[in-house]
Amino acid sequence: MPHLGISFEEKRVERVEALKDELKLESLPIPNVSYYQTIEEQNQFLNSISNTQFGKNLLKLQNRLNEEMGIPLILPKLSNITNISVLQQQFLAMQGIGLGKDRQGNYGAEIQGTARAFQNIAQTNGKAGSFFLPGGLGYQEVVKQKKPSKSIPTTSNRRSYCRCTRRNNTR
């Protein structure tokens, strides 16, 4: 078992660098965020949020990537799991992981592929999911304000305007 941990530790640093190189080739933004350098540190974080839906989702995703695909999931250091920044979402996107919020505001993560995950972030500015759609708790309707109509001088406005003009002309 320790051998598995060591091989994943070696793969973590290599993987981040390889992913950044891929982003350069694809002309995608390279997020500069701090991330968990060791699997132990990351597991400690995941265990601390394992009682949340998002924590359970990330644990399942990590196990799937590790066991089925033989690659480590490398998480950015998330200080607020209710509001994940665009840069942190891009860090996950470079691994092909996309985030979204459900109607109640809980994050979920899924494998989407790098291009699609980055496209979703660009299109939604990091606000993907039903939470931000009509009926979701985070939905904010954009209300377009009417442009003020051009004021047409009324008779009283015209008189005062005319008086000023007459005064200036008489001097």
Mean pLDDT of the chain: 80
The H helix count followed by the E strand count for the chain is 6, 2
Would 83 be classed as within a structural domain?
A: yes
Largest CA distance in the chain: 101
Would 97 be classed as within a structural domain?
A: yes
pLDDT per position as a tens digit, 125-140 = 888 877 666 665 556 6
Would 36 be classed as within a structural domain?
A: yes
What number of other Cβ atoms are within 10 A of residue 13's Cβ? 11
Would 23 be classed as within a structural domain?
A: yes
Flag whether pLDDT at 43 surpasses 90. Answer: yes
Full domain range(s) for residue 125: 2-132
Would 63 be classed as within a structural domain?
A: yes
pTM over the 0.85 mark: no
User: Average pLDDT in the 21-35 region?
Assistant: 91
What is the domain count for the chain?
1
The residues pairing with 109 across neighbouring beta strands, listed in sequence order, are 99
Give the tokens for residue 50.
């394992």
Would 42 be classed as within a structural domain?
A: yes
**Could you say which DSSP state residue 62 is in?**
H
Would 150 be classed as within a structural domain?
A: no
pLDDT per position as a tens digit, 46-76 = 999 999 999 999 999 999 998 888 888 999 9
Flag whether pLDDT at 44 surpasses 70. Answer: yes
Give the Cα separation of 139 and 161 in Å (integer).
48
Would 86 be classed as within a structural domain?
A: yes
